[in-house]
């Protein structure tokens, strides 16, 4: 009995160690793999390999091959549903059949197919996320206990297994499944928290647009790749007057509204940010036709002028407007130089009437 306990302890340790390595690998792969379908196949492949690893040096007992193969199969079925469970169980089923013995069919039915069935029954489709699933530990363990009770009863009834054997298997399977669940939740929660922190660090808290640090990093990468770009900056005409008349809360709302209009106006390939105060900045990426940039900025200028902003009737001319400056990149220019040119063009628009666009050098 002592040797059996140490065997199941080794099984449990192997499962936990491989699970730990898999989760660390997942943290790296998340940067490169975006397809949920690919994650499903990778998860099934890993669980199949993990199950085979547990079965490879199983404990022989009166014609039975004893191990904790049900642990990874129950776990994947609970986390991902019956499809993942079935796919993960294919190779272990063939391997157990290959091992043979008088209890081969029992081993397949009770320790491979039954955990897949029970795990899938307790799977929660509503909370399932192929890449960053946070699971209910309580629900998972309740399902495991039900499975172990059914399996233990059938093993004692139909195989040479004793009560002490089933109790030992239940104990170590319980710990292994619990450890897998806690490790999964901890790893996924760390990834989610890191992503949230990274997202917030790259965002302007007022408008929820990207901040200028994020903008600079992205645009400098385009310049490094020697892609032709155009930088446009705009600010709100007579914004101080609007703030003084309506208060800072309405002024903040105006900034958020403009941020949303800007987001809706640019393409996915372009970069935008709040530059500071009431200034915003746009990078038109991979500019092949300068006329496209001119048309896009003119359209945005017109859309802002035609938008019905709250309280705009108090602005000079009865409408809220913006002024814009644009500069096209040239060879060997730095981002700082392009922004200086854009800012100069914006200043020209403000000085010569507002509600207009100035292109640097024209």
A 10 A CB-CB count for 32 gives: 7
**Tens digits of pLDDT across the chain (362 residues):** 667 788 889 999 999 999 999 988 888 877 677 777 787 888 899 999 999 999 998 888 888 899 999 999 999 999 999 999 999 999 999 999 998 888 899 999 999 999 999 999 999 888 887 778 899 999 999 999 999 999 999 999 999 999 999 999 999 999 999 999 999 999 999 988 988 998 889 999 899 999 999 999 999 999 999 899 999 999 999 999 999 999 999 999 999 999 999 999 998 889 999 999 999 999 999 787 888 899 999 999 999 999 999 999 999 889 999 999 999 998 889 999 999 999 999 999 999 999 999 999 86
| CATH class, range 212-359 | alpha beta
pTM: 0.78
Residue 50 CA: distances (Å) to CA of 13, 43, 166: 12, 10, 21
- Taking the C-alpha atoms of residue 142 and residue 156, their distance in angstroms, rounded to an integer, is 21
For the chain, domain boundaries: 2-201, 212-359
CATH architecture assigned to 2-201: Orthogonal Bundle (1.10)
76 neighbors 33 (Cβ within 8 angstroms): no
């Amino acid at each position: 009995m002592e040797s059996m306990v140490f065997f199941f302890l080794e099984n449990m340790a192997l499962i936990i160690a491989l699970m730990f390595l898999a989760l660390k690998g997942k943290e790296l792969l998340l940067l490169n793999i975006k397809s949920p379908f690919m994650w499903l196949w990778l998860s099934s492949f890993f669980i199949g390999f993990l199950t085979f690893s547990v079965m490879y040096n199983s404990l022989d007992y009166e014609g039975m091959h004893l191990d904790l193969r049900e642990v990874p199969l129950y776990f994947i079925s609970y986390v991902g549903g019956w499809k993942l469970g079935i796919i993960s169980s294919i190779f272990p089923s063939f391997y157990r059949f290959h091992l043979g013995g008088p209890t081969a069919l029992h081993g397949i039915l009770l320790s491979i197919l039954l955990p897949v069935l029970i795990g899938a029954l307790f799977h929660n489709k509503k909370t399932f996320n192929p890449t960053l699933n946070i699971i209910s530990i309580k629900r998972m363990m309740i399902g495991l206990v039900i499975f172990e009770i059914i399996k233990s009863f059938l093993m004692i009834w139909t195989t040479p297994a004793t009560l002490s054997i089933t109790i030992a298997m239940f104990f170590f399977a319980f710990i292994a499944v619990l450890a897998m669940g806690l490790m999964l939740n901890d790893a996924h929660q760390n990834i989610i928290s890191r992503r949230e922190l990274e997202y917030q660090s790259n965002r302007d808290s007022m408008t929820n647009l990207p901040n200028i640090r994020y903008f600079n990093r992205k645009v400098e990468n385009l310049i490094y790749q020697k892609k032709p770009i155009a930088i446009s900056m705009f600010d709100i005409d007579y914004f101080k007057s609007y703030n003084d008349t309506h208060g800072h809360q309405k002024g903040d709302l105006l900034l958020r509204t403009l941020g949303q209009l800007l987001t809706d106006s640019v393409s996915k390939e372009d970069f935008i940010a709040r530059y500071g105060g009431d200034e915003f900045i746009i990078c038109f990426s991979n500019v092949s036709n300068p006329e496209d940039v001119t048309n896009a900025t003119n359209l945005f200028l017109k859309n802002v002028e035609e938008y019905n902003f709250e309280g705009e009737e108090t602005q000079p001319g009865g409408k809220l407007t913006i002024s814009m400056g644009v500069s096209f990149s040239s060879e060997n220019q730095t981002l700082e130089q392009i922004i200086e040119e854009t800012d100069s063009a914006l200043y020209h628009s403000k000085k010569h009437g507002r509600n207009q666009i100035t292109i640097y050098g024209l």
